[in-house]
Amino acid sequence: MPESIRYISHHNLEGFGKDGQKKLSNSSILIIGVGGLGSATSLYLAVSGIRKLTLVDFDSVDESNLSRQILFQEKDIGMNKAIVAKGKLKTFNQDILIDAIEKRLDEDELREFINDSNLVIDATDNLESRLMINQITYEQRKPLCIGAAIRYEGHLITILNKDKDESCLNCLYTVGDESLLDCDGIGVLSPVVGIMGSMMAMECIKTISGLNKGQKNIVSVFDFKNNIYNKINLEKRVNCDVCS
């Protein structure tokens, strides 16, 4: 399908247009975690025309995933999530490049993959991984989008890693903290995951295309049970081990 037809809704969009689409088609996005958040995020990025997606997940599909991880079906149970997601996403857009990494990356490998990407999506589910990703993206000055979905709530942070006065995830949490961004054992309503994954894709597209004008040091918190949206200031910690 000609690109002019596939992406015409983007081409006709004021403030985005063909220039914005060209930036997407030249970008490489690293998605770490292809569960509920990663499934929805990757789907919208694939159909939006991102040039290359690199999907990282060592986990396999199980039955408990099927209610909220929209790329997976019963026939996929027992298969690696990154591999399955690659095949599904290719059916939506054959023109994009997709790499599937079906292993847990060590720090050196993670550095290499982040270095090769224009932006990183953190869709993981444990704090240790999140803090490592946060540190490396800060060191390499790569934009980072972090999402979480728990109970009826979603959390969203975009860190551009451009300015010295920007805070980072380590300003909010440290290794010794109990993760508040993990839905395991707490539960989550299925649509919350899809909404947050879509919002992460939106943040990615805004950042790559230049629509993100530098909003920083903000944690967006969405209460979907009561339809309440709050912004929390993420102050830069003077003694932060990463960004100070």
pLDDT tens digit sequence for 134-160: 999 999 999 999 999 999 999 999 999
User: Which has the closest alpha carbon to 120: 94, 157, 86, 95?
Assistant: 157
Split at pLDDT 50, 70, 90, the class of 232 is very high
Q: What is the 3-state secondary structure (H, E, C) of the chain?
A: CCHHHHCHHHHCCCCCHHHHHHHHHCCEEEEECCCHHHHHHHHHHHHHCCCEEEEECCCECCHHHCCCCCCCCHHHCCCEHHHHHHHHHHHHCCCCEEEEECCCCCHHHHHHHHHCCCEEEECCCCHHHHHHHHHHHHHHCCCEEEEEEEECEEEEEEECCCCCCCCCHHHCCCCCCCCCCCCCCCCECHHHHHHHHHHHHHHHHHHHHCCCCCCCCEEEEEECCCCEEEEEECCCCCCCCCCC
User: Does 178 have pLDDT greater than 60?
Assistant: no
118-131: average pLDDT: 94
Q: Do 203 and 156 touch, CB atoms closer than 8 A?
A: yes
| Residue 154: partners with Cβ closer than 8 Å, 6 or more residues away | 147, 148, 192, 195, 196, 199, 221, 222, 224
User: Does 183 have pLDDT greater than 70?
Assistant: no
What pLDDT score was predicted for residue 184? 55
Where is pLDDT greater, at 217 or 109? 109
What pLDDT score was predicted for residue 82? 98
Give the domains, in start order, of the chain with CATH numbers.
3-233 (3.40.50.720)
What pLDDT score was predicted for residue 52? 98
pLDDT tens digit sequence for 88-119: 999 999 999 999 999 999 999 999 999 999 99
User: Which has the closest alpha carbon to 121: 156, 152, 88, 94?
Assistant: 156
Residue owning tokens 């912004």: 231
197-206: average pLDDT: 97
Split at pLDDT 50, 70, 90, the class of 22 is very high
* Cα–Cα dist 236/232, whole Å: 13
172 phi and psi, to 5 degrees? -100, -40
Where is pLDDT greater, at 37 or 177? 37
What pLDDT score was predicted for residue 173? 80
Structure tokens at 198: 């879509």
163-180: average pLDDT: 76
What pLDDT score was predicted for residue 174? 67
What pLDDT score was predicted for residue 120? 98
What pLDDT score was predicted for residue 213? 76
73-97: average pLDDT: 97
> Considering the entire predicted model, what is its pTM?
0.94
Q: How many CB atoms lie within 10 A of CB 134?
A: 25
